[in-house]
């Protein structure tokens, strides 16, 4: 009996992840749509297995993301809680003012460049641009 040990394989049958009948009908519709021959049972099993693996991968990635979001940054020495709402609003207002000032300066420079560039024939658009920075 020693030579027969390990020769009998017992394995559980793999269950399809997706419903075989509905997947088969969808594959059939696509085959008809694209004028392909009928699909086999192996194709249904392969697609079901691929979907299962893809979902496993996505769930693993989502788990990593969820763990990352649960990290407590308050224990980090660089973390400094700020409860002064007024100073926070003042900071954002200063950022907005700096951004507005930068945009205004860019527009002014563009207008000055347009006003300085002279062509032989003055068109109304150039005259308007020359007057605007003044």
Report pLDDT for 39: 80
Distances (CA, A) of 61 to 12, 54, 55, 56, 67: 28, 11, 10, 9, 10
Overall average pLDDT of the 95-112 stretch: 92
Q: pLDDT tens digits for 5-52? A: 655 555 556 677 788 889 899 999 998 999 888 888 888 889 999 999
Report pLDDT for 95: 94
Report pLDDT for 120: 45
């Amino acid at each position: 009996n020693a030579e027969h040990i390990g020769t009998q394989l017992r394995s559980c049958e793999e269950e399809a992840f997706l419903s075989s009948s509905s997947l088969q009908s969808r594959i059939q519709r696509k085959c008809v749509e694209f004028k392909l021959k009928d699909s086999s049972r192996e194709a249904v099993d392969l697609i079901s297995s691929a979907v299962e693996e893809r979902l496993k991968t996505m769930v693993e990635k989502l788990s990593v993301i969820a763990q990352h979001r649960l990290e407590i940054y308050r224990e980090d020495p660089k973390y400094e809680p700020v409860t002064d709402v007024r100073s926070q609003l003042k900071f954002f207002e200063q950022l907005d003012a700096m951004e507005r000032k930068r945009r205004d300066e860019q527009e002014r420079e563009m207008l000055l460049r347009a006003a300085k560039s002279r062509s032989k024939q003055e068109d109304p658009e150039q005259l308007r641009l020359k007057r605007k920075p003044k």
